């Protein structure tokens, strides 16, 4: 059980970036010949790259993310020497010509490239694979003290979209990956507050996996680190448009700006703090309105989240006679949206949720009731939680580990609000 404070500060080189008060914008600057959307546009032209960085800053970017190696599916690995030749002159020029009032990220999985970029003025390492592709990255990040983005990828860029892409639960898999990589990094001297997580939309996932990650993005808030999301112009959005609108061909990257903003809106509402985008001006205008509706002055009560996980109870539940012969185990996970600020100041149980009492009430409900449908049980638990005056919204996730002999487990997740 943990109450989540959803505001973070990134510190480096006497600069501070607040993530959570408003959405942080990371502008993409690819200095590659072959990136999926803008490959070649700023390749081998430092002056043009600097001009684009300046334009994105004027449009509202907080971070300029400079990358020299395309990580699109099937891309060929780049040597360290080649990547240094592409990236370092741009990092150096952007910092020298545009000043030190903004953050520069270097998008690389190579420790040597990250170390040199940091020496030339970069502030953040944006690291695909979460320091698995070059373990020496932990040393670089630890010694420098810089923020590091760890993002999930299945396999490598060459293999991530090949074969059958299967996860038992993609959110659980990615969550476990982050938990393990943060632990691994901390053991090697990286401080927890240096970490930023990115679920890696499009990196070894199907369309359905990408959508599920966005829908359940809020579950990553339990890790208590900032969440970065990158959906800008990505292929799964084109696939959705093609299928849903019955188009003859998939829309090109530049035709996916509006879909990118739509998915970005859902991601921000579900907990994203930082948005990585090619289209800074449109994204800045878009997120400004979202942030306006989210800020404390507009919301009646800013909401925090209390998680109560892995409650195990037993009850008679099921439609078939074989399911109703004896009690079955059910696993219950709750996410309670509350305002914990008063409790944090008063340190009084009356101003918060009595976890023990709620736990006992839920167990009593489950173990002394009978249901045919898991949906009815979830609804009853949600109503019980909302009887607490502190709870504004509740998400209930139930799993029947032994639902059917042939299908294994089944699960349901519902969200209910007071007054709904």
Instruction: For 176-188, write each residue's pLDDT tens digit.
Output: 999 999 999 999 9
What percent of the chain has pLDDT above 90? 57
The residue with greater pLDDT, 194 or 391, is 194
- Phi, psi for 228 (deg, rounded to 5): -105, 140
Query: Residue 4's pLDDT band (boundaries 50, 70, 90)?
Result: very low
The sign one gets for the Cα dihedral 74, 80, 86, 92 is positive
Q: What is the pLDDT of residue 350?
A: 78
User: In 3D, which of 35, 36, 41 has the Cα closest to residue 67?
Assistant: 35
- pLDDT score, position 155: 64
Tell me the pLDDT of the chain averaged across its residues.
87
Look at residue 153 and tell me whether its pLDDT is greater than 80.
yes
**Domains of the chain, CATH where assigned:** 2-294 (3.20.20.20), 304-417 (3.30.1130.10)
**Long-range own/partner contacts, residues 206-211 (CB < 8 A, 24 or more apart):** 206/165, 206/236, 207/236, 207/239, 207/240, 209/165, 209/167, 209/170, 210/234, 210/236, 211/236, 211/240
Residue 359, CB half-sphere, CA atoms under 13 Å: how many? 11
Q: What percent of the chain has pLDDT over 70?
A: 89
CA-based end-to-end distance of the chain = 25
Residues annotated as catalytic are 234, 276
Give residue 319's pLDDT: 79
- Neighbouring CB atoms inside 10 A of 55's CB total 13
Comparing 168 with 199, which gets the higher pLDDT?
Answer: 199
* Res. 296 pLDDT band, cuts 50 70 90: low
**CA–CA separation, 45 vs 289, rounded Å?**
35
pLDDT at 10 over 50: yes
Q: DSSP character for 227?
A: B
Q: What span, in angstroms and rounded, lies between the C-alpha atoms of 228 and 197?
A: 6
The helices-and-strands tally (H runs, E runs) of the chain is: 12, 16
pLDDT at 397 over 50: yes
Q: Identify whether the C-beta of residue 69 lies closer than 8 Å to the C-beta of residue 30.
A: no
| Predicted confidence (pLDDT) per residue in 326-352, tens digit | 888 889 999 998 887 777 777 888 778
Q: Cα separation of 406 and 398, whole Å?
A: 19
Instruction: Report the alpha-carbon distance of residue 420 to residue 86 in Å, rounded.
Output: 55
The pLDDT, as a whole number, for residue 353 is 84
pLDDT confidence tier of residue 132, bands split at 50, 70 and 90: very high
Q: What is the SS3 assignment for 286?
A: helix
Task: Name the more confident of 284 and 13.
Answer: 284
Does residue 300 sit in helix, strand or coil? coil
Kindly state the helix (H) or strand (E) to which residue 56 belongs, with its residue range: helix 46-59
Burial class (CB in 10 A: 0-12, 13-18, 19+), 400: buried
| Secondary structure class of 105 (helix, strand, coil) | strand
Exposure string for 30-54, b = 16+ CB within 10 A, e = fewer:
bbbeebbbbbebbbeebeebbebbe
Computed on alpha carbons and rounded to an integer, the radius of gyration of the chain in Å comes to 23
Please tell me the distance from the alpha carbon of residue 268 to that of residue 49, in angstroms, as a whole number. 28
Q: The tokens 């609804």 sit on which residue?
A: 379
> Dihedral angle at the C-alpha atoms of 420, 307, 175, 143, nearest 10 degrees?
130
Phi and psi dihedrals of 409, rounded to 5?
A: -85, 160
Q: Each residue of 17-35: pLDDT tens digit?
A: 888 889 999 999 999 876 5
């Amino acid at each position: 059980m943990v109450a989540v404070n959803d505001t973070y500060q990134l510190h480096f080189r006497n600069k501070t970036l607040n993530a959570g008060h408003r959405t942080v914008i990371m502008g993409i600057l690819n200095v590659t010949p072959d990136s999926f959307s803008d490959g070649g546009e700023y390749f081998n032209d430092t002056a043009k790259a600097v001009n684009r960085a300046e334009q994105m800053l004027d449009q509202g970017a907080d971070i300029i993310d400079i990358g020299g190696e395309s990580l699109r599916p099937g891309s060929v690995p780049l040597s360290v020497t080649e990547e240094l030749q592409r990236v370092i002159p741009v990092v150096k020029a952007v910092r020298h010509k545009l000043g030190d009032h903004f953050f520069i990220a270097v998008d690389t999985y190579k420790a040597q490239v990250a170390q040199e970029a940091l020496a030339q003025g970069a502030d953040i390492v944006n690291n695909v694979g979460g320091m698995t592709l070059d373990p020496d990255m932990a040393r670089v990040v630890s010694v420098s003290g810089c923020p590091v983005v760890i993002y999930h990828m299945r396999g490598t860029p060459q293999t991530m979209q090949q074969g059958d892409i299967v996860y038992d639960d993609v959110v659980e898999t990615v969550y476990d990956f982050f938990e393990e990589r943060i632990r691994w990094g901390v053991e090697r001297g990286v401080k927890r507050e240096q970490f930023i997580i990115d679920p890696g939309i499009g990196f070894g996932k199907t369309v359905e996996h990408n959508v599920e990650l966005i829908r359940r993005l809020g579950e990553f808030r339990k890790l208590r680190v900032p969440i970065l999301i990158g959906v800008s112009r990505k292929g799964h959005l084109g696939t959705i448009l093609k299928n849903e609108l019955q188009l003859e061909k998939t829309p090109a990257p530049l035709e996916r700006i509006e879909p990118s903003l739509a998915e970005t809106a859902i991601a921000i509402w579900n907990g994203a703090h930082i948005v990585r985008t090619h289209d800074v001006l449109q994204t800045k205008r878009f997120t400004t309105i979202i942030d306006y509706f989210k800020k404390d002055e507009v919301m009646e009560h800013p909401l925090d989240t209390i998680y109560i996980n892995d409650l195990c109870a037993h009850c008679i539940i099921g439609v078939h006679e074989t399911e109703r012969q004896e009690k079955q185990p059910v696993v219950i996970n709750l996410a309670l949206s509350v305002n914990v600020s008063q409790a944090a100041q008063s340190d009084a149980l009356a101003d918060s949720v009595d976890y023990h009492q709620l736990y006992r009430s839920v167990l009593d409900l489950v173990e002394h009731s009978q249901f045919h449908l898991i949906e009815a049980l979830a609804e009853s638990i949600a109503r019980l939680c909302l009887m607490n005056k502190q709870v504004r919204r509740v998400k209930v996730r139930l799993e029947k580990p032994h639902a059917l002999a042939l299908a294994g487990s089944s699960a349901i997740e519902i969200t209910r609000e007071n007054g709904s």
